[in-house]
Structure 1
Amino acid sequence: MGSSLPSSSDVVEAFDEFMMAFEAFKEANDERLAQIESRVSADVVTTEKMERINRALDEHRQLVDGLVLKSRRPALSGERAETSQAALQHKAAFAGYVRHGAESGLRALESKAMSVGSDADGGYLVPDETEREIGRLLSQASPIRAIAGVREISASVYKKPFAVSGPATGWVAETGERSPTTTATLAELAFPAMELYAMPAATQTLLDDSAVNIDEWIAAEVQVAFAEQEGAAFVSGNGTNKPKGFLAYTTAAESAWAWEKVGYLATGVDGAFPASNPSDKLIDLVYALKSGYRHNAHWVMNRRTLGEIRKIKDGDGNYIWQPAAQAGGVSTLLNFPVAEAEDMPDIGTDDMAIAFGDFRRGYLVVDRLGVRILRDPYSSKPYVLFYTTKRVGGGIQDFDAIKLMKFGES
């Protein structure tokens, strides 16, 4: 709120340091590989040096990403005029409720609008501007949301029919007899929106400070809590009172893949890549995905798995992982972008530590319109708590669009 935005020179300087760290990492790893070839095992000092640089590389990347996001963040106030008198009234009434607990204005506005977003147990809708800012911050902080398909709904459940097998098609002469097409096999996918909550706290002194932008403060406070909970649920949530993660579905070897299962390829080694030509397994995973899905495909893995992949070269001696070409860009693996999701499992025996696919077509995030806030000045005096809720669901919508790598023999 009170910090200034980083300058472009700050971003450039941080990105240059990141690239220098990457060059140092490649030199250390090349030295380690040379030692393995000449002496069967790498020198301990060299290995420790490489791992230290690898960790520094992660820290530099996080610094660059943070500076880029901060430099792109628009201020909520003063930059965009509200388009309607109703929006202005709601914004003013909401500020009065948050700062001083004056709820009569909000109650009258929401009663007049007959809003379905207000909670029967209490709570009021945040202004549209604040809701948009929360959504924007979540898209930046939640790695799966950033690459998945997102749909807004007003009901509690989104139901989507999906054609498992399409109708029969064929060529026919202009005046030839048309054979009737077979009926498509349809499956109905249901995505219920579950309640997600955060409870930021503030002092009354902070709320009384007119220099504090309430909209911006709320968005920033709930963003971290929402993003962490969403990130875990979209990856491995069990679907009970939370979204169902793509790793929670039944899996099957790619050779035996069927609808409602997620296909996987095995590395052939328990808890590891093969010792020779490990990049071949990643290439196999790329081409396990149909060509129609590959143009928008992403890798998904956590930073520890990515740290192992950074060490891998292809048959021509080139590193298969490449850093972003510019600040704010994304790193690539075999020329496909990488999304780092810390909730993905580490490499271990039979773990599905890597996912690859078109997540925009494969995984759907469902947002129910409306973020609500209930002000609680009593439960934790002298602090004021803000019970903030949104409804979100998620699940796989196309089982052919996502593939996994299993670190096991079969």
Structure 2
Amino acid sequence: MPEIHCDASPEIKTILPHEAQVTHHEVMRLFETFKEANDTRLAEIERRASDVLTEEKLARLDRALDERLARLDRLALEARRPALAPERRDGRAGASEHKAAFEAYIRSGETTGLRTLETRALSVGSGPDGGYLAPPEIEATVTQRLSALSPIRAIAGIRQVSGATFKRPFARTGPATGWVGEAAARAQTDSPVLAEQVFPAMELYAMPAATQTLIDDAAVDIESWIAGEVETVFAEQEGAAFVSGNGVNKPTGFLTQTLVANGAWEWGKIGFTVTGEAAAFPEDDPADVLFDLIYALKAGFRQNGRFVMNRKTQAVVRKMKDGSGAYVWSPPAQAGGAAGLFTFPVTEAEDMPDIGAGTTPIAFGDFRRGYLVVDRLGLRILRDPYSAKPYVLFYTTKRVGGGVADYDAIKLLKVAAS
């Protein structure tokens, strides 16, 4: 069986199962059928003989294509998920001792082992009121799975900190430069103007519940269960905040920055181009507005650029052609990969707005340089057997922040006439 390697992060090399190969071939064949149906629709429009059956067929194909792409994404996600790290077997106190003490706390509420470890480590930041730090392998598992589940986290820059905030100095203006002769006098350059960006880490929580029977079952990997329960809700909350968070007790999203026409761009604002129509893409040559968006980004960022949009917007873009009649959208080149638009990858983020008057449904940029996610080390879990009897709640918290790191690296497409 040939191996198919997933186009994931550089740290994770994934091999998808045989079922994914079949699914990927289905997607490619389905897209060819979709293109034929759309060509028929366009021809009917030109003849002014639009057939409702053709429109319905195209809609069905569009939904089927979305379903198969979603299935392919789920297979790739399952393959990306890492297993919990194995316990140490060298006999020394360490990861295995922490894991055993933590499991005793989760299953029975016994805190002696964790208290002993934290006293030995001179830790004063945890306790029965604030919960206990989960073993590093659980934290690593949740973080890695979030990178696969959370679309913006997967493409953004990431920093880990041990404090409450991450401060990043940057130069808004560089030193003066110029050409000079070999023996000519050198003029003194201006000092760069330095400023500071602050990214606070906000608290994100989840509260999965379990029955005591489930907890007592030795066959249940309780650590994997907790990781699986919190990963999806954490990813959903992160995804919304990284796109449109207002910065109040949550990260600041790139869509909530001050937006200006790209010709008037300045640091601290996000530039945008427009569709030229008040509430939609133009009917004639709609793909041209995507070209305008691409080339609004400087070449240094464009080489690592990618599109970000939701599934509904992608369904509209999927029907577009360039000036030579070729479709500008293409399905993933391999199982687990990303769809392409003008050879640039497309990240699907459902928290992006739909196409509508005044919205910004498409972003394009180098998000690795443009958006920064800040993770504070430590995943804390508090066992609560009292608040929802007969269930046991696991109040799980992590601290995460985010915001725009380089305002020149992200551009938006706004649905507006001008």
Q: TM-score, normalised by structure 2?
A: 0.93
- CA contact under 8 A between 1:77 and 1:213: conserved in structure 2? no
1:89 aligns with 2:126: no
Identity %: 60
- CA contact under 8 A between 2:375 and 2:399: conserved in structure 1? yes
Taking the aligned partners of 1:177 and 1:118, their CA distance within structure 2 comes to 62
SS at match of 1:315: coil
1:314 aligns with 2:333: no
Taking the aligned partners of 2:366 and 2:329, their CA distance within structure 1 comes to 19
Displacement, 1:202? 1.0
The one-letter code sitting in structure 2 at the alignment partner of 1:226 is: F
Gap regions ≥5 residues in structure 2: 1-13
Flag the 1:51–1:162 CA change in 2: closer, same or farther, 3 A. Answer: same
| Structure-1 residue corresponding to 2:10 | none
Gap regions ≥5 residues in structure 1: none
Q: Give matches, 1:159-198, under 5 Å.
A: 159-198=167-206
Q: Of the candidates 19, 29, 32, which is equivalent to residue 20 of structure 1?
A: 29
Q: Of the candidates 226, 231, 234, which is equivalent to residue 223 of structure 1?
A: 231
| Structure-1 residue corresponding to 2:283 | 275
Taking the aligned partners of 2:124 and 2:162, their CA distance within structure 1 comes to 9
1:392 aligns with 2:380: no
- CA contact under 8 A between 2:82 and 2:141: conserved in structure 1? no
Q: Give matches, 1:340-351, under 5 Å.
A: 340-351=348-359
| Structure-2 residue corresponding to 1:73 | 81
| Structure-1 residue corresponding to 2:8 | none
| Structure-1 residue corresponding to 2:153 | 145
Query: Once the two structures are superposed, what CA deviation does each residue of 1:301-335 show, in whole Å capped at 9, x if it has no partner?
Result: 00000000000011111110001111011111011
Flag the 1:86–1:47 CA change in 2: closer, same or farther, 3 A. Answer: same
| Structure-1 residue corresponding to 2:216 | 208
Displacement, 1:391? 0.3
Flag the 1:286–1:79 CA change in 2: closer, same or farther, 3 A. Answer: farther
Displacement, 1:358? 0.4
1:32 aligns with 2:37: no
Q: TM-score, normalised by structure 1?
A: 0.95
Matched pairs, number: 405
Quote the RMSD (CA, aligned, Å): 1.9
Query: Once the two structures are superposed, what CA deviation does each residue of 1:18-37 show, in whole Å capped at 9, x if it has no partner?
Result: 22221221121111111111
SS at match of 1:85: coil
Taking the aligned partners of 1:142 and 1:59, their CA distance within structure 2 comes to 19
Taking the aligned partners of 2:133 and 2:86, their CA distance within structure 1 comes to 22
The one-letter code sitting in structure 1 at the alignment partner of 2:108 is: H
| Structure-1 residue corresponding to 2:55 | 47
The one-letter code sitting in structure 2 at the alignment partner of 1:91 is: K
Flag the 1:150–1:26 CA change in 2: closer, same or farther, 3 A. Answer: same
SS at match of 1:247: helix
Taking the aligned partners of 1:116 and 1:287, their CA distance within structure 2 comes to 53
The one-letter code sitting in structure 2 at the alignment partner of 1:341 is: A
